[in-house]
Amino acid sequence: MLAMKPFQLLALFLAFGCAQAPAQGNQNAPQPATPPNTEEQARIELMDQIERQVRLPEGAGRLETYASYYAWQPRDDGYRKVVAVYQNLTGERPGRHWVAENEFPVIMDGGCGVISLSYDVAAQRIEHVTCNGDA
């Protein structure tokens, strides 16, 4: 039986087209991102749509300075609503989160450091945007 060294075996495979040569300079190429599932993608698109429409009340900061929380609001009438809370009081880094409504931050005052929003999905329109009161 003929014994071959690994390099010779690789050369033999390459010569006969049984294996592809490794790509040069590709070792540090970024790996393809795993595409988000359909539900996650729909939530991202919905947050994008809301944020394109929203105009924060006078006295509020820029939207990108807030941590944003979005949730489906349970409704008995069949309409789909999204509610959101934007807050920039607690030192949390800005970003977007899709959570259950009972996971929203609970801040009773805070003025425009806490903003509430309601969005009618069927009509594709914001119903209200309001700052919290001040204590």
| Domain map (residue ranges) of the chain | 38-131
Q: In what order do the strands lie in the sheet with 125-131?
A: 95-98, 67-73, 81-87, 114-120, 125-131
Asked if 130 and 116 count as a contact pair (C-beta separation under 8 A), the reply is yes
Q: Report pTM.
A: 0.69
What would the pLDDT profile of 36-85 be if each residue is shown by its tens digit?
589 999 999 999 999 999 999 999 999 999 999 999 997 788 888 999 99
DSSP state letter for 106? -
Q: Could you give the 3-state DSSP secondary structure of residue 79?
A: coil
What would the pLDDT profile of 86-124 be if each residue is shown by its tens digit?
999 888 899 999 999 999 988 888 899 999 999 999 999
DSSP state letter for 65? G
